[in-house]
Structure 1
Amino acid sequence: MAKVGFLGLGVMGYPMAGHLAAKDHEVTVYNRTSAKAQAWAEAHQGGYAATPREASEGCDFVMSCVGNDDDLRSVCLGPDGAFAGMKKGAIFVDHTTVSAKVTRELAEAAAAFGIGYVDAPVSGGQAGAENGVLSVMCGGTEADFAAAEPVMAAYGKIVKLLGAVGMGQTAKMCNQICIAGLMQGLSEALHLAEKSGLDGEALVEVISGGAAGSWQMINRHKTMLADEYNHGFAVDWMRKDLAICLATADEVGASLPVTALVDQFYKDVQKMGGGRWDTSSLMKRLKAFE
């Protein structure tokens, strides 16, 4: 079993760190709100630290799951950052959804400390984190991945290396593009059904088993039909991710017209006061714009 530091105890990080403890890893956590770190430590018989550096000292692996590029830099760099406390040969594993640019920047900084780096964003939402069945898409060297994969398996249903550092984040962008497009299509289908007098539940029962079926359809149609949007990944976070998608597309010369359009639809949702609604709230936008 490994000695592990875990930085960031949000809706994803808190249960992920718990799965590591359940697998008998020796886990020390850090969170910007120290009371949450202390509560986690009491619940899971682990340790907690006042700084990322303290949480990382002596660890074989340090995992992070924070908010954005700047949050990730803040827990990695500086005298109180994780890199300053990690021993040579240790591996930093980042589960945050951030840009490939900051990933490559921090991987280079880690190398200067003699530290390995794996970018490993996750998909599966809060339920996937709580149930330990996340999809983990990774970028890094084969050696660093091979060392870290058994640890990530504590909360990953599938953990796969997709290429060099940064490729994990690129894969996560592809994941978010698929979700955005599917959510808009599902919203339009359910909206048309309602306006036409077609029973939405009956519709989904029929079409979900065919080519139109998706995770979003199975897991979100009931709440969408009930006009409830507090059951998943927030619009504010999706817009952060789609901004990375669109910036990456500009860098590599890719065309993402549907993604750009749906991003603007999510902007409309934010203007409606729905920044914390889940991503299926595109349907609420359709109703508002009737």
Structure 2
Amino acid sequence: MTILLVLLGFSISPADSARALVSIRSIPEAAVYYSQMAAAEDGEHMVEFAHILEASGRFSEAYRVYGLALGNSSSQSTSRWLINRRLGVSPLDTTLVITASVTNTGDAAAWNVQVIIPMPVSHPPFQTLTILSNDFTPSGGLLSARIPIIAPGQTVRLSVTVSITQQPGSMRPVTGQISDEALAWITHTLRSMNIPEALPGPCIPMSEEMARLAAGEIGLSMTVEGGLILDTGGCIFHAWDVINEYNIRIDPLLFKDDSLLSIAHNPADVVPLWDLSTTDGYELNLLFKDPACSLTGTMSATAIQALEE
């Protein structure tokens, strides 16, 4: 009796092969190769190819492939995302005007109001920041200003202008810095975190919670860092964590949508400005003595040099 053995071959697509190789810790060359094959076979995989290039720190190549995907995009939201990703993988050289606005919404004048914001500082190795002009007085990692009087209905604006040069950067591969156990804890914790309904947004409470859990459960020290996301539509205030010992950035909110770019990744469209622990997690603090006063404060930022359209 003859026994015929039939070997069945299971076909795995290049895109699936790339995804199987990618991890938070590293993106091997084979993953980039398979992703490129998938993009060549089907243009719909072009965005994923560019995304893997960016996550692996191959920024100039990612810029080119994001551009190819942008040329084929018919969706306004996708096109805007692709434009922003091209910002993220390009060197940044811009001037930002950061403004604190204080409005007296009450019926009585507010006297001797102190306005406090964190001090913008450089964040090496990817960023250099220089304060060009300033309506505040620097002191102990803070910027403060005193407003003698704010009349009812009046808004007072105080600004600090900074020059920023920044290169996109990656800490990947994350080799000896973090143990497998710690990295597994980080990803598990980020995956299980809920997005709170918080004003003005969830990024600060999520980052504070992550830092608290890391210190308490695995003894990992993190700082809550604040800054801006540069968008073709404007500048958005944002916050994330940095592992102090290794200077590795972790973005708890972004992890929900993009785990690869949320850990060990420093794109140029995310601009770190300050340590939020110096102001108890707030970008703007108002101090005044009269409890009858009613004041509101807001922060805004504008890039003087136009961002890519």
Q: Which has the higher strand share?
A: 2
Q: Which has the higher contact order (CA 8 A, sep 6+)?
A: 2
Bigger CA radius of gyration: 2
